[in-house]
Amino acid sequence: MTSMFEQPMVKLLRILSPTISWLDSRGSVEVADVPTDHLEAIKQLERIGVVHKRNNRCYELQKIRLKKLMGSMGINTLIPLDPTPSPTVTQVAPTIEMPESNIPVPVNSELN
C-alpha cells in the first residue's frame, strides 16, 4: 500500500502516461516538434526529473529515473486513469414527445 505522500505522484504518472509512452516510442524529440497536447505534460515530467532537455533543443525520456521512481512506489506498469471508451458504446439522445395541441385540457368547474 502506498503512503499518502506517494499517491499524488502515482496519479500524476498515470495521467501523464500517454505522453510517457509517446516520448518512449519517439526517443529524442526536438522542442519545436512536440505537439501542443503533449507540451504541458512534458514540462511537468521535466519538473520531476523524468524528462531532460538536452542542449536546449531536444527532450529525452530518462528511463532509468522513471524506473527508479516507479519502483519506489511499487508500480510495474503505467495504466492511464481515463481509458478511452470502447467503440461499441453509443450514446443515445433522449426524445421527448409533446402532446398534440388539439387535445382538450380538462378544466375543473368546481371553483368555490
State the pLDDT at residue 58: 93
Query: Is it the case that residue 92 has pLDDT exceeding 60?
Result: no
C-alpha 51: how far from its chain's center?
A: 18
Q: Does the pLDDT of residue 97 top 60, yes or no? A: no
Interval 40-54: pLDDT, tens? 999 999 998 889 988
Q: Mean pLDDT in the chain?
A: 75
Rounded Cα–Cα distance for residues 36 and 32 (Å):
10
- Condensed to tens digits (0 to 9), the pLDDT of residues 61-70 reads 888 888 888 8
Under CATH, which architecture does the 6-73 domain have?
A: Orthogonal Bundle (1.10)
Rounded CA gap, 108 and 78, in Å?
67
Looking at residues 76-83, what average pLDDT do you find?
A: 62
Mean per-residue pLDDT for 21-47? 89
Cα gap 89→63, rounded to integer Å: 36
pLDDT score at 91: 53
What is the model's pTM? 0.61
pLDDT exceeds cutoff 50 at 86: no
pLDDT > 60? residue 36? yes
Query: What confidence category does residue 108 fall into, taking pLDDT thresholds of 50, 70 and 90?
Result: low
How far is residue 86's CA from residue 44's CA, in Å, rounded to a whole number? 29
